Every structure is written in C-alpha cells, then in structure tokens.
Amino acid sequence: MSAERITLLAPAKVNLFLAVGDRRPDGYHDVVTILQALDERVADTVIIERADVLTVICEPSIGIPAEENLAFRALEGLGALVGREPAFSVTISKRVPAAGGLGGASADAAAALVGACRLWGLPADSPEVTALAASLGADVPFFIAGGTALYAGRGDMLVRRLDTPALDLVVVNPGVPVSTPAAYATFDRLLRPAVPTVDGMLRALASHDIGEISAQLFNNLAEAACDLAPEVAEALHFVSQSEGVLGAIVSGSGSSVFGVCEDAETAERVAHDAGMHGDWWASATMARPGGSAEIESGSVLR
C-alpha cells in the first residue's frame, strides 16, 4: 500500500513574546520571539495528493496567483532540493485570516512540505528541509514542529523548544489586513522605548503560572499595527477589557489580537461577543503542543 493523498492540519500561531530590535545590514530586524501553535479551531486544512503537475488551490480564494502562494514555492523548492518534479495537487481550505499576524501562509507552506516529504519518504525535519523552510519565511520552520519555541536572529533561528502551557485563548481579527512590511516600516519611524528581556516570560512559562504568563505578554510591533489600522486598537481594547481575560496583546505584526482567558468557557464567551462586532472574526482556541499534523492518509494498491 502506498499513500497517494494526505490531509494535514496547518495550525496558526500567536506570539507570546515579540521584541523587535534594530534593522540589520541584510535589511531584516533582530527579533526575539516565543511562538505558540494553536489548536484545530484556528487552522487551515491542506490536502496534498500526487498529480501530473504542481497546482495549488485555496478555498476560498485569497486573490493571488497560485505561483505566488507560499505552499507552491515550498514544493518547487523541495523538488529542486531533491531533484524530483513536484507533481502534486494541493488544496488549502482557508480558515486562518490572511495578513492577520497568525502565520496562515507559513503554516500552509509547512504543511505542504510535511505532506510532500511523507509522500516521497523524506524526513521533514532534516537540516536541508529546515533550511528550505527558513528561506521561505522566518516562521515556516516553526510550523513544521509547532508547539512552543523560542526563536532569535531574524525570527528564524531556533534557540530552544519549550513546554507547551495549558492556555485557553481567544483570537480576534478586526477584519482588516496589516501588511508586515508596512508594520516594520512604521515601527522604524516610531520612537522605541527599551524592551524587556525574554527572561520574564521564560520564567513564567516554566512556572506554568497562567497569571504570570498573561502579565509577561509583550509585542513592540503592536503600536505600529494600531497606527496602521485603528481597528486593531479597538479589538485589543475589547479583548483586554472583557471579563475573565487575564492579558491581551497583538499577534505578530497584526491585525489579529489574542487574550489569555481564565478558562475555556471565558474564551468561548469572549469569542461569541466579539463575533457580534460586524466584520470581526473570532475564535476560542487552546495552546497546541504540535505543529503540521497528518489527519488522514489515502492509499491505493501498487
């Protein structure tokens, strides 16, 4: 029996901690971040199967040519890496808001890599595949393994993996995109106060103290995101002021915000209330220990 088709979960992420530093000579910024994968309620689904040529379809469409999709570029890169034609058909069921600071495109690319490696009998966690993933985007390597992890460099250098905390979360997207390049450009123009070290959040995660984790949430891109889209500030205020939310912050460069909640019931209630705000998208979720994961595999006789 040989697998011909694999369905994978592509979970999104939030940044529990994000400290952006100065611009580097290569044009990127120094970054220290703790990434946290989310559960299946904030995730895309990626179906990859053998085909005659490489195709990528998003449902619903995200309005870009297939060749510009990060999953398409990931499979082209994998084919070049191993000297094989990446003849796969990929269908991505989109649930993660685009340009929302949740890493949806990177998660899809990671899932496509994991699925293709599975179909080709290759290790998805090899140094070569990891390097390919990093060339696609700083957080793509994270999505292959998921869980909770500390990254540095330009956000692509794994410092160490961390125990995943038991966190009930609510994620709210105000219905407007925020361009990552625009957020960084705005960040460069703003006055930047000193940032805390990541040590406080690392201690909070080690203690499994939800209140302390909430108190250590940090993102110095938040001001830039709110400057570009005032709706982000509105959503952040809503979440942070909701009863039972222990702490809230912008995820990545926005536009999504998230809050750490007292319990799952609080997360569901806040998500429901946020969903009443016109164009807002919201979901309760939890911290997830894994990353791109195979849901189902189809086989045929050989």
Residue 174 burial (CB count, 10 A): 28
Query: Using an 8 Å Cβ cutoff, are 242 and 259 in contact?
Result: yes
139 is catalytic: yes
CA distances from 33 to 39, 40, 214, 278 (A): 20, 22, 15, 32
94 is catalytic: no
* Largest separation between any pair of C-alpha atoms in the chain: 63
Q: Which of 215, 253, 222, 220 has the alpha carbon at shortest distance from 237?
A: 222
Residue tagged active-site, from 39, 44, 108, 139:
139
Cα 256 from Cα 14, distance rounded (Å): 9
Q: Token pair of 215, please? A: 């108190």
Q: What angle do CA 84, 88, 90 make, to 5 degrees?
A: 145
E-only strand ranges, 12-118: 13-23, 29-37, 43-50, 55-59, 88-93
Query: Three-state DSSP class for 21?
Result: strand
The catalytic residues are 13, 139
